[in-house]
Amino acid sequence: MMKRLLLIIFTLALCLPALAQRAELRSGNRAFRKGDFPRADVEYRKAMLRDSSLASTRYNLANTLYREKDAEAAMKMLEGGKEAAEGADFEASYYYNLGDAAIQAEKWQEAVDALKKSLKLNPDDVAAKENYVYARNKLLQQQQQQQNQDQQGDGDGKQDQQNQDQNDQKDQQDQNKDQQQNQDQQQNEDKQESQPQPQEAELSPQQAQQLLQAIQQKERETQEKVDEKNAQALKSRQKEKNW
CA–CA distance, 68 with 15 (Å, rounded to integer) = 24
Q: How confident is the model at residue 126 (pLDDT cuts 50, 70, 90)?
A: very high
Say which range, 51-55, 189-193, 206-210, has the weakest mean pLDDT. 189-193
Residue 197 lies in a domain: no
Residue 165 lies in a domain: no
Flag whether pLDDT at 240 surpasses 60. no
Residue 2 lies in a domain: no
Residue 77 lies in a domain: yes
Under a CB-based contact definition with an 8 Å cutoff, are residues 27 and 64 in contact? no
Range of the domain at 32: 17-142
pLDDT tens per residue across span 1-40: 555 555 555 444 444 445 443 788 889 999 999 999 999 9
pLDDT at site 140: 95
pLDDT at site 2: 55
pLDDT at site 141: 94
Q: How confident is the model at residue 216 (pLDDT cuts 50, 70, 90)?
A: confident
pLDDT at site 108: 95
Residues 6 or more apart whose Cβ sits within 8 Å of residue 97? 5, 6, 8, 59, 62, 63, 66, 74, 78
Q: How confident is the model at residue 187 (pLDDT cuts 50, 70, 90)?
A: low
Q: Looking at per-residue confidence, does 241 or 26 come out higher?
A: 26
CATH number of the domain encompassing residue 74: 1.25.40.10
Residue 154 lies in a domain: no
Say which range, 48-52, 117-121, 146-150, 195-199, has the weakest mean pLDDT. 195-199
pLDDT at site 239: 33
pLDDT exceeding 90 applies to what percent of the chain? 36
Q: What is the mean pLDDT of residues 153-158?
A: 66
Residue 24 lies in a domain: yes
Helix 126-194 × helix 108-121 angle, to 10°: 150
Residue 91 lies in a domain: yes
Total structural domains within the chain: 1
pLDDT at site 198: 47
Residue 156 lies in a domain: no
**9 closest CA partner among 47, 135, 109, 132:** 47
